[in-house]
Amino acid sequence: MILAIPVNENLGTSDLCVSLGGAPRFFCCNTEPGADRTLDNPVANAKGGSGVKVAQFVADQNMNALITVRGGKNAAEVLITAVIQICRAQGGMAKVHLAAFAEGKLQSFHAGFHHQQ
C-alpha cells in the first residue's frame, strides 16, 4: 500500500502542509521497506483548481491512500473515483500520521473540510 501525505519539506519528519493543492511536496510511504520517496507537487503554484489537479496527480502516481488536513469536494470526488482512501490528519509530523494510519486511528475524510483545520 502506498500512502501520500502533503508536506512542507522533503522528509517524513516534516510537518504536514495544511493545503492539499498548495503543498510543495508529497511524502509517499510504501509498506515495502526502503520504498519511501518524496514527490514535488507539480501544481503547487496553480492559481485555481489546484485541489482537483493534485488529486489527479495523486491518482496518477498509483497511491492507495491520502492523509490530509483538509480538501475540497471536487478533489475528494476525484480521489473517491480513483478508489483512493482519504484520511483526515490533525497536523504535525508526517511519520506520526503514518503510525496512526497503520493502527487504524485516523478518521475517514469527507468533503466539506475545505478552508477548515
Q: What is the pLDDT of residues 19-46, one digit of tens each?
A: 899 999 999 988 777 778 899 999 999 8
Into how many domains does the chain fold? 1
Q: Does residue 97 form part of some domain?
A: yes
User: Is there a domain that residue 114 lies in?
Assistant: no
3-state secondary structure labels for all residues of 6-20: EECCCCCCCEECCCC
Grid coordinates representing 111?
Answer: 468533503
Report pLDDT for 116. 46
CB-count burial class (<10 Å; 0-12, 13-18, 19+) for 34 = exposed
- Is residue 116 included in any domain, yes or no? no
Examine residue 80 and state whether it is found in any structural domain, yes or no.
yes
**Residue 34 lies in domain:** 2-108
Residue 75 maps to a domain = yes
Look at residue 82 and tell me if it is in a domain. Answer: yes
Position 81 in a domain: yes
pTM: 0.87
**Is 113 inside any structural domain?**
no
Helices 73-81 & 50-60 angle (0-180, nearest 10): 20
CATH number at residue 97: 3.30.420.130
Tell me what pLDDT residue 117 has. Answer: 46
The per-residue DSSP string of 62-105 comes to T-SEEEES---HHHHHHHHHTT-EEEE--SSBHHHHHHHHHTT-
